[in-house]
Amino acid sequence: MGKISLQDLLKKVDDLPALPSVVKRVMELTEDPNSTARDINEVINQDQSMTAKVLRLANSAFYGFPRRISSVTDATIMLGFQTIRSIVIAASVSKLLSQEVEGYALLPGELWRHSQSAAMAARLIARRIKFSKAEVAYTAALLHDIGKVVLNSYVRETYEEVMDKVEKDKVPFSQAEEEILGFNHALVGSKVAENWNLPPELVEAIAFHHSPELAKTDPVLTSIAHVADFICVTMGIGIGADGLLYPLSPQAVNLLGLEEQDIYQIISQLSDLLVDQDSF
Ligand SMILES: [Fe+2]
Ligand SMILES: [Fe+2]
């Protein structure tokens, strides 16, 4: 099996389910300063399973509200537009990311757990360094490995070849993917994000989550996604076949101003959150 043609790849990307119209509507509404919590409530409530997922997540320990949030309007008021938006995106990709991804040796549910944990880690990092777009960081980390879903069957077929390259040439897994298939999962993931009309800094963060030095639009955002991924791998969450085969970028860590101590603290905060983590 040779390299994938761009045409085949884009077709595969196109074959993925589109973001549901609820998500598109919520994305528009949360961008519009004139919209109200009631507007958002109305849109989300049209989709029952979305409503249930939003409420379940809003009530998870992550947000730590002492009393139950029982309506989408309450959730929107208490969590804010940006958080509701990232919750809705998460709810809409949970199924796609929960499937088995054999090419990367990820059992059903493992990629979802990895993605969700990375998203939480990204939010913790963002809070710690006072990055203003914590919710974009959450979504970037949530979607960082979505390209694996697209490349799954190709990697399954060429796995030996890819691993051979990793071992012989001592290159990160994504570089071996790229040399053998023509594309790595990070770049493919960024094509998915583009297809979904997600903002350019999010597309970039997905594209460069294994090479954050290359980010130009928002290097901090990309570095957060990178470090969040690293933290989850370090904690053994959804490592799969390739997780351990990427270096941590010292530039990314420096750019974020993180000390070793910070990383340890984030790991401990995250493990506390994961104890209660049956959010979806
Ligand atoms: Fe990755
Ligand atoms: Fe990852």
Show me where the domains of the chain are located.
Answer: 6-19+93-275
Q: For position 277, what pLDDT does the model report? A: 64
How many whole angstroms from 211 Cα to the centroid of ligand 2? 12
Strands (E), 16-163: none
66 has a pLDDT exceeding 70: yes
Please give the C-alpha separations between residue 54 and each of 20, 24, 58, 126, in angstroms, as whole numbers: 15, 15, 6, 22
6-19+93-275 homologous superfamily: Hypothetical protein af1432 (1.10.3210.10)
pLDDT of residue 280: 52
Distance 226 CA to ligand 2 centre (A): 8
User: Looking at the predicted structure, is the pLDDT value of residue 38 above 70?
Assistant: yes
- Ligand at shortest distance from the CA of 231: 2
Considering every ligand atom shown, identify the ligand nearest to the alpha carbon of residue 190 and give its number.
1
Mean pLDDT of 103-113: 95
Q: Which residues surround ligand 1, an ion (CB under 5 A)?
A: 145
Ligand 2 centroid–CA 98 distance in Å is: 14
Spacing, Cα 177 to ligand 2 middle (Å): 14
CA–CA gap between residue 149 and residue 96 (Å, rounded): 8
- Mapping DSSP to helix (H, G, I), strand (E, B) and coil, where does residue 112 land? helix
pLDDT attached to residue 63: 78
Residue 87 CA to ligand 2 center (angstroms) comes to 19
Percent of the chain with pLDDT over 90: 86
Separation of CA 111 from chain center = 10
pLDDT of residue 67: 81
- Tell if the pTM clears 0.85, that is, is over it: yes
Ligand 1 center to 211 CA (angstroms): 10
Task: Using a pLDDT cut of 70, give the percent of the chain over it.
Answer: 98
Provide the pLDDT confidence category of residue 61 given band limits of 50, 70 and 90.
Answer: confident
Tell me how far the alpha carbon of residue 185 lies from the centroid of ligand 1, in angstroms: 7
Quick: pLDDT tens for 172-222. Answer: 999 999 999 999 999 999 999 999 999 999 999 999 999 999 999 999 999
pLDDT, tens digit, 9 for 90 and up, residues 141-174: 999 999 999 999 999 999 999 999 999 999 999 9
pLDDT number for residue 82? 93
Angle in degrees, CA 110, 46, 50, rounded to 5: 15
199 alpha carbon – ligand 1 mean position (Å): 19
Ligand nearest to the CA of 117: 2
Residue 17's Cα: distance from chain center in Å?
17
Ligand nearest 185 Cα, by number?
1
Distance of CA 240 to the CA centre of its chain: 16
pLDDT at residue 45 is higher than 70:
yes
The three state secondary structure string of 220-274 is HHHHHHHHHHHHHHHCCCCCCCCHHHCCCCHHHHHHHCCCHHHHHHHHHHHHHHH
Q: Which of 25-29, 58-62, 195-199, 273-277 has the lowest mean pLDDT?
A: 273-277
Q: Given pLDDT bands bounded at 50, 70 and 90, which one contains residue 278?
A: low
